[in-house]
Amino acid sequence: MKEYGPTTFGDLHADEYDALHDPGTTDACVDLIAELAGTREVLELAIGTGRIALPLAARGLSVSGFDASPEMLQKLREKPGGEALQTWVADMARFDLGQMFDFAYLVFNTLYNLTSQQAQTDCFQCVAKHLRPGGQFLVEAFMPNRERFENNQAVRTKKVSFDSVLLEAAQHDPVAQTIHYQRIRFTEDGTSLNPLPMRYVWPSELDLMAALAGLRPVARWGGWQKQPLSASSNMYVIVYEKPATEA
Ligand SMILES: C[S@@+](CC[C@H](N)C(=O)[O-])C[C@H]1O[C@@H](n2cnc3c(N)ncnc32)[C@H](O)[C@@H]1O
């Protein structure tokens, strides 16, 4: 049986990532990270094809990043300014870049691509080791919504056209906090499958992972425009800080 691993996302999506994965919030995300990071040295975890890192670098920020997928990094390097960024192939649950940064970020639900609590906790530990005192870590992800499931499963019709149908099937495990997605495309040529397993994290659990790594929350929002984080928020943007001096 095939296993979903750290490189699988890139294997499946590198070629069409930019065309099909636009959350519509890129400019707002870049604005907020630029405001928070200022002139400090920045690290993007799971940098992908540079959707956020390249516009930040174009504004003069010093941005580096890593990704598990060599294919995603290759797409980044093919873009204007891509060769100038320092990049590594690395796993966000166990990275050691031999360098320190002042600001790190992990956006677009990508923490959830680590599908166990242990791997997510390890990710925070790695980030803390790469932050200078006073350094910050921003995490953005969707707020889990149980109402999207009936009996912990959901099937949605994503797109119907004359010669194809795109469906999304999802199975939710509220104990493990996992959602296993499968996008199924039917065309005249056959069927294709596109899996995506995720483990979601509530803000309270995120705070605990951060605390275990010695980081404390300094800002929490329900959107890129600094909307308050509330019961009706469908996403969170939370910023953690490594104390400037040891307690
Ligand atoms: C949704 S994309 C986000 C890319 C980019 N940060 C953005 O916002 O456009 C998820 C990225 O995470 C990478 N990824 C998945 N698992 C990873 C892991 N364990 N370590 C590092 N990168 C990983 C994928 O290769 C992919 O580039």
DSSP state of 40: S
Q: What is the pLDDT of residue 246?
A: 59
> d(Cα 168, Cα 183) in Å, to the nearest integer?
4
Alpha carbon distance 237, 31 (integer Å): 13
Q: Report the distance separating Cα 135 and Cα 110, nearest Å.
A: 21
In a domain, 17, yes or no: yes
Measured over the CA atoms of residue 53, residue 55, residue 57 and residue 61, the dihedral's sign is: negative
Place of tokens 């990094």: 73
**Rg over CA atoms, the chain:** 18
Residue 47 corresponds to which tokens in the numbers above? 């940098």
What six digits make up the tokens of 93? 């649950």
User: CA-based angle 51:132:83, to the nearest 5?
Assistant: 35
Verify whether ligand 1 is closer than 6 Å to residue 105 (CB atom).
Answer: no
- Rounded to whole angstroms, the Cα distance separating 177 from 144 reads 9
From 7, 67, 235, the mutation candidate for ligand 1 (largest count of ligand atoms within 8 A of CB) is 67
Cα 6–8–13 angle (5° rounding)?
Answer: 125
Task: Report residue 239's pLDDT band, with 50, 70 and 90 as the boundaries.
Answer: very high
Ligand 1 within 6 A of CB of 53: no
Do both 95 and 151 map to the same domain?
Answer: no
Q: Do 40 and 115 have their domain in common?
A: yes
Tell me the average pLDDT of the chain. 95
User: Are 174 and 65 part of one and the same domain?
Assistant: no
Gap from CA of 118 to ligand 1 centroid (Å): 18
Give the pLDDT of residue 90.
Answer: 98
Nearest ligand 1 atom to the CA of 108 is: 8
CA of 243 to the centre of ligand 1 (A): 27
Using DSSP's 3-state secondary structure scheme, residue 73 falls into helix
Q: What is the domain extent for residue 54?
A: 8-143+200-241
Q: Residue 24 has what pLDDT?
A: 86
Averaged pLDDT for residues 163-168: 95
Nearest-CA residue for atom 20 of ligand 1: 91
Distance in Å, CA 246 to ligand 1 centroid: 32
Confidence of residue 3 (pLDDT cuts 50, 70, 90): confident
Total domains, the chain: 2
pLDDT of residue 1: 63
246 found inside a domain: no
- Write out pLDDT tens, residues 100-149: 999 999 999 999 999 999 999 999 999 999 999 999 999 999 999 999 99
How many Å from the N-terminal Cα to the C-terminal Cα in the chain? 49
Atom of ligand 1 nearest to the CA of 92: 20
Does residue 136 line the site of ligand 1, with CB under 6 A? no
Q: Which of 84, 115, 105 minimizes the C-alpha distance to 181?
A: 115
Nearest CA to ligand 1 atom 4: 48
Q: Are residues 115 and 22 in the same domain?
A: yes
Instruction: Based on the fold, state whether residues 38 and 107 are members of the same structural domain.
Output: yes
Q: What is the pLDDT of residues 42-76, one digit of tens each?
A: 999 999 999 999 999 999 999 999 999 999 999 99
154 pLDDT more than 80: yes
Buried b (16+ CB within 10 A) or exposed e, 167-179: ebebebeeeebbb
Q: Are residues 192 and 234 in the same domain?
A: no
- The 10s digit of each residue's pLDDT in 200-224 is 999 999 999 999 999 999 999 999 9
CATH code at position 56? 3.40.50.150
Asked if residue 52 is part of any domain, the answer here is yes
Same-domain pairing of 230 and 168: no
Strands of the 131-142 sheet, one edge to the other: 86-89, 62-67, 41-45, 101-106, 131-142, 235-241, 216-221
Whether residue 132 sits in one domain with residue 69:
yes
Is the same domain home to 183 and 212? no
pLDDT for the residue numbered 247: 54
Closest C-alpha to 75, from 16, 123, 133, 25: 16
Residues 13 and 127 grouped into a single domain: yes
Q: What CATH number has the domain bearing residue 156? A: 2.20.25.570
Share of residues in the chain with pLDDT > 70 (%): 99
**Spatial CB neighbours of 25, under 8 Å, sequence gap ≥ 6:** 224
Residue 87 has pLDDT above 70, yes or no: yes
Domain membership flag for residue 3:
no
